Structure 1
Amino acid sequence: MKPIQVAEGIYWVGAIDWNIRDFHGYSTKEGTTYNAFLIMDDKITLIDTVKKEFADELISKISQIVDPKKIDYVISNHTEMDHSGGLARVMHRIGEDKPLYCSKMGHKNLPQHYNPKWNYQIVEDGGELSLGKRTLTFMETRMVHWPDSMFTYAIEDKILFASDGFGQHYASMERFDDEIGDEIMVHAKKYFANILLLYTAHILKVFEKVQNLSLEMKIICPDHGIIWRKDPMKIVNAYVEWCQQKPKRKALVVYDTMWHSTEIMAEAIVDALHQEGVTAVPMHLRRWHRSDIITEVLDAGAIIVGSPTLNNGLFPTIADFLTYLKGLKPKNKIGAAFGSYGWSGEAPKFVNQELEAMKFQVIDAPLKIKYVPDAEGIEACQELARKIAKALPGE
């Protein structure tokens, strides 16, 4: 595959990973890309690299534009190995004395992964680097989503190199938003919900910094997925909305089941929610991947979790989901617990405890039904649904 021009003198030289299907427990059914960018100026500059396995592909693309030995500067916006993994190959090829620019925290991280004797150059927040015809400025974006993260902004081109901001895990031959339909926003939402949700306060501070600097963004180049050139503010505005986590009149009924009894309860809750005008989505945890559920969690008003009791505790898939959810610290949620049991019945109580620990507004005591729900049990499920519907916005 050839390098692709992003703007005059700026090229995408990254790699497409068609085969990856899991990224730290996040499902990547559409693969991903590792985006790197080459700037041709008086000082030829490479921004970020790729995952180690794709380093030769990166070098090959660069070689179609210029002899890699002529690269003057390398910029590392983020230490994580899907972006820095190609550094050793690149530095060996271009010369290990070439300046490698990174944030202060990046300088703490990179020598622990790679050669500590490289020519590291620490950039300050707001610092600038002249390449000749254009100037780059650097913006620290700590915890978006690592402590070392930073953005690089090409002032004259009005292009933001956004590291892990505004990305998507999405592999395609197309490189730009105007070449793909609106479905790309679904992938961007999934990326935000699973990777950046925990850091919404930090993201909003970054946006405040961008506003204060009056930075115009004609193009946004993330390190994963497509490049935003048609309407870059579309993804910026989406991030602002997602950061606010405003709940909709929407409920997720997340459950697993052993002999269908907890599933019967889930179906009764979903049906009753629909009757109350709530968008209710049943999510069987052995049919839905946790990361796809989290995408829906982003704007859901209620998370209702059903677990059968197994060995006096939570069903394993439920325990896994609650652990994953808890780490992302979603806000503004209503919660409830339910489940069937045979003789001990602890699972719904444990679900409630987890929801309370996440600071959900827990509706009612945990609902548990012994063995198979009868008519009275179904009515109890429906009553729980009505209480949830009443507590949701838009009542």
Structure 2
Amino acid sequence: MKPVEIAKGVYDVGVIDWNIRDFHGYSTHLGTSYNAFLIVDEKIALIDTVKKGFAEQLLRNISTIIDPGKIDMVISNHTEMDHSGSLPYIMDKIGIQKPLYCSKMGEKNLSRHFSSDLNYQVLKEGDEISLGSKTLTFIETRMLHWPDSMFTYLKEDKILFSSDAFGQHYAGHEEFDDVVGNKIMFHAQKYYANILLLYAPLILKLVEKITKAGLEFNIICPDHGVLWRNPGRIIEAYAKWSKQEDCADKAVIVYDTMWDSTHQMALAVADGLHENGIDVRPMKLRDWDRSDIMTEVLDAKAVIIGSPTLNNGIFPTIADFITYMKGLKPKNKIGAAFGSFGWSGESVKIIEQNLGEMNFDLPVSGLKIPFVPDNNGLEKCREFGSQLAKAIKG
């Protein structure tokens, strides 16, 4: 893409990665972008860089506006490799002696990744840099989602460069949220559910801090996906997702199966939920990526997990998903377990133990059926779903 001027003298010079389909375990069906921003004033600043391998494209984008050698400083909001992988190459091209601004933890992390010869300049909360007619100020956002993270705020234009916050893994020619339309909210929800949910309490505090400070935003510019010309929309969504309250009457059935028995149970449980007014999503783990499942979990009241018993334990894909979900720490959820078994049947108990460790409410005892569920067994599954529906509505 060609650079886009998003405000006078402010350009998105980032690149699009159309073909990436796995972002360290997160499915990126539509690719992603690595956004970087050039501010041209009396002094010229580059905010963030791009993933290694895209550095030349970044330089070409910058070159359509100015000679890259005229850049006076680089600001690193976040040291993760998709934003800093090309830093050494870029610094070498624009001048290795030029200041590289970052947080205190940013200096620590960058110097571990790259040469200590770079001209690191540490910024604190509230520090300002004048570029001439434009002023940059900095907001520390530790653990959103790394300890080095910070925001950069362009005061005169009221533009927030928000690093990984408010992003989406979305590749497209559209530059702004109002151009993409409502479909972008799904990608924002998926991004939040799989990357930021763990930090929900910190996000709420950050939203409160920004509100108290009276900061106004015309545009929010994340490092992935489209930019928000309607910033209130995504801020409100983050506040809602972070509270993890007022979820819809919705249940996600996460399951896998060996010889179709647990699959039959899952569909019967789904019938029982649906017949009682619950929006239900049956999702078989070998057909759905775990990051897509977590997107559905985010705004669901209930997570119901089904597994056959294998080697006196749970199915490997179920163990993987539970580990993944545990790490993201969803709250205020109803949980339940079901599964088929041959001769021992431990899977249901193991799932319930894991859900209990995540502080899920378990209003209905787990359901297990030996071998293949007959009509009576399937009716038990539907009744199991009906009981869960009452708990969800209650």
TM-score, length of structure 2 as denominator length: 0.98
What SS does structure 1 have at the residue aligned with 2:292?
helix
Report matched runs for 1:31-180 at 5 Å. Answer: 31-180=31-180
Report matched runs for 1:379-390 at 5 Å. Answer: 379-390=379-390
Residues 166-194 of structure 1: CA distance to partner in whole angstroms, max 9, x if unpaired?
10000011211122121011100000000
Partner of 1:325: 325
Report matched runs for 1:304-315 at 5 Å. Answer: 304-315=304-315
Alpha-carbon distance in 2 for matches of 1:365, 1:174: 49
What SS does structure 2 have at the residue aligned with 1:344?
coil
Alignment-mate amino acid for residue 348 of structure 1:
V
Residues 31-56 of structure 1: CA distance to partner in whole angstroms, max 9, x if unpaired?
00000000001110000000011011
Partner of 2:372: 372
What SS does structure 2 have at the residue aligned with 1:147?
coil
Partner of 1:283: 283
Offset of 1:66 from its aligned partner?
0.9
Larger CA deviation: 181-190 vs 360-369: 360-369
TM-score, length of structure 1 as denominator length: 0.98
Offset of 1:300 from its aligned partner?
0.5
Alignment-mate amino acid for residue 318 of structure 2:
I
What SS does structure 2 have at the residue aligned with 1:190?
helix
Residues 231-290 of structure 1: CA distance to partner in whole angstroms, max 9, x if unpaired?
111111111111111232111111111111111111111111111111111111112111
Alignment-mate amino acid for residue 245 of structure 1:
Q
What SS does structure 1 have at the residue aligned with 2:178?
helix
Residues 137-173 of structure 1: CA distance to partner in whole angstroms, max 9, x if unpaired?
1000111111000000000000000000110000011
Alignment-mate amino acid for residue 267 of structure 1:
L
What SS does structure 1 have at the residue aligned with 2:195?
helix
Do the aligned residues in 1 keep the contact of 2:46 with 2:74 (CA within 8 Å)? yes
Alpha-carbon distance in 2 for matches of 1:78, 1:278: 41
The count of residues paired between Structure 1 and Structure 2 equals 393
Do the aligned residues in 1 keep the contact of 2:41 with 2:132 (CA within 8 Å)? yes
1:234 maps onto 2:215 in alignment: no
Alignment-mate amino acid for residue 382 of structure 1:
R
Alpha-carbon distance in 2 for matches of 1:64, 1:275: 59
What SS does structure 2 have at the residue aligned with 1:362?
coil
Alpha-carbon distance in 1 for matches of 2:334, 2:295: 17
Q: Which runs of 5 or more residues in structure 2 are unaligned?
A: none
Alpha-carbon distance in 1 for matches of 2:151, 2:223: 11
Q: Which runs of 5 or more residues in structure 1 are unaligned?
A: none
Partner of 1:192: 192
What SS does structure 1 have at the residue aligned with 2:38?
strand
Residues 10-50 of structure 1: CA distance to partner in whole angstroms, max 9, x if unpaired?
01111100010001111000000000000001110000000
Residues 270-322 of structure 1: CA distance to partner in whole angstroms, max 9, x if unpaired?
11111111111111111211111100101111101000111221111111111
Offset of 1:350 from its aligned partner?
1.0
Do the aligned residues in 1 keep the contact of 2:204 with 2:243 (CA within 8 Å)? no
Identity of aligned residues (%): 63
Alpha-carbon distance in 2 for matches of 1:138, 1:356: 41
Alpha-carbon distance in 2 for matches of 1:346, 1:3: 57
Dislocated runs of 4+, deviation >4 Å: none
What SS does structure 2 have at the residue aligned with 1:152?
strand
Offset of 1:365 from its aligned partner?
2.7
Offset of 1:383 from its aligned partner?
2.6
